[in-house]
A and B are shown apart, each in its own frame.
Chain A
């Protein structure tokens, strides 16, 4: 098989793994305000932890580029948010503010997959020896990202299958970006820190602006704080040992 097709297929497997993140919600029957708050807290912790890891990686390629990318990421969310506010949205079975938050999250996570796709492609370019290890690592690492998306969408009334589908959708840019990044390693290695910074900035901003206030509104704050802190640390450590 041609090497490009292998890179693409591997990328596809990692995208499909994201859908597994919706699985826990098949076992949660009633969605009380507490579960909504805790879901948002889990999503916040996972995204903050992922961002810590991303920034640590991005600054190895270039500190200023990562920060510059981060600022662009925040600006991007501000603009997207302002545009979304003008429309009465319906998305995945929810309306209004909930639908807007879900769309925004989809946009953020999809953009972040672009950066990850580039990271996969660039690392493949470094040699195929570790390829399988990297693919497994990314596939497993995508599961909590699917969990983060499902944790926000499920309380808004999206079905479990819908959550899984949107999770996979958010990761589709990974295989699409992995191929050009693999073919043009040198070019993409240069834009990688910008992309990583962009993804991290967008995720952290989304967490602090949208998810945390929502979580605090529906549960006691120390309960939220414990969940966010533990998931954040678990995500960082999990990523380190993959």
Chain B
């Protein structure tokens, strides 16, 4: 129940992301860059938390899990023809592009669902912490997605709905991952590794490359670092620290 509640909360936060779009037709380009950098920094922070907060050595199964995570995202991108897709184009209006953006977002959320589920299985407070970090990160991600959708003349209310809908995979995988680990505790390092590998890979393959096109590298680096630093600070002060 707790897993369902917090992962749903995280998914729902994507709707909050449309708020910056209220009352304006188009978001300035550098805002999109910063939103992505903020989301990416928070994800790197979560990956850091999952990777080192346990202060235990990563076992072989963890390393293999991480490779699987990288492989999973890399292959889904390749299979759907989205490896080099620019996810932030406000001027591209082909239907094909719209579906691809939604699909990429759904895959992205699935990986985060594994992170929430695995963290919940480590212990409750660490799980809640991870879910909240992912929830906060869903806000700027929702903003970016909504900006793309509204520029394709999707109504704001529907954009919010779609932003949440792409995150349903997150709730689903959080619950599945948690249940699987509960049934077979040996899967824990695999799940943690998978989450870490896919999170870091997503930041580097999806979020960061696009940031640099939208805003200067100095401001991108600052936003990313602040987001990472906050997660690292909180995790060392709070659960698991």
Residues of A near any B CB (own CB < 8 A): 52-53, 55-56, 59, 63-64, 66-67, 70-71, 74, 78, 201, 204-205, 208-210, 212-213, 216, 220-222, 224-226, 228-230, 232-233, 236-237, 240-241
- Would you mind naming 20 contact pairs between A and B with Cβ atoms under 8 Å apart? A52-B48, A55-B52, A63-B233, A70-B225, A70-B229, A74-B222, A78-B218, A204-B228, A205-B221, A209-B221, A216-B208, A221-B84, A222-B78, A222-B83, A225-B205, A228-B204, A233-B51, A233-B63, A240-B58, A241-B57
Q: Which residues of B contact A201 (CB under 8 A)?
A: 225, 229
Provide the bound-state CA to CA distance between A201 and B222, in Å.
10
Contact residues of B between 206 and 222, Cβ < 8 Å to A: 208-209, 212, 217-218, 220-222
Give the size of the chain B interface in residues (CB under 8 angstroms): 39
Prevailing SS type, chain A contact patch: helix
Known: A212-B208, A221-B209. A53 touches B233 (CB 8 A): no
Q: Which residue of A lies closest to B237 (CB)?
A: A63
Say yes or no: A229 contacts B58, CB within 8 Å: no
Partner of B84, one of A52, A209, A222: A222
Q: Which residues of A contact B52 (CB under 8 A)?
A: 52-53, 55-56, 236
Q: Which residue of B lies closest to A214 (CB)?
A: B217
Say yes or no: B70 contacts A226, CB within 8 Å: yes
Shortest CB–CB separation between residue B104 and chain A, in angstroms?
12
Shortest CB–CB separation between residue A49 and chain B, in angstroms?
10
Prevailing SS type, chain B contact patch: helix
Provide the bound-state CA to CA distance between A232 and B197, in Å.
10
Provide the bound-state CA to CA distance between A209 and B233, in Å.
22
Q: Which residues of B contact A71 (CB under 8 A)?
A: 229
Say yes or no: A236 contacts B205, CB within 8 Å: no
Provide the bound-state CA to CA distance between A201 and B232, in Å.
12
Binary interface encoding of chain B residues 33-67 relative to chain A, with 1 for a CB under 8 A from any of its CBs, else 0? 00000000000000010011101011000010011
Shortest CB–CB separation between residue A227 and chain B, in angstroms?
9
Say yes or no: A208 contacts B70, CB within 8 Å: no
Known: A63-B237, A67-B232, A222-B205. A233 touches B200 (CB 8 A): yes
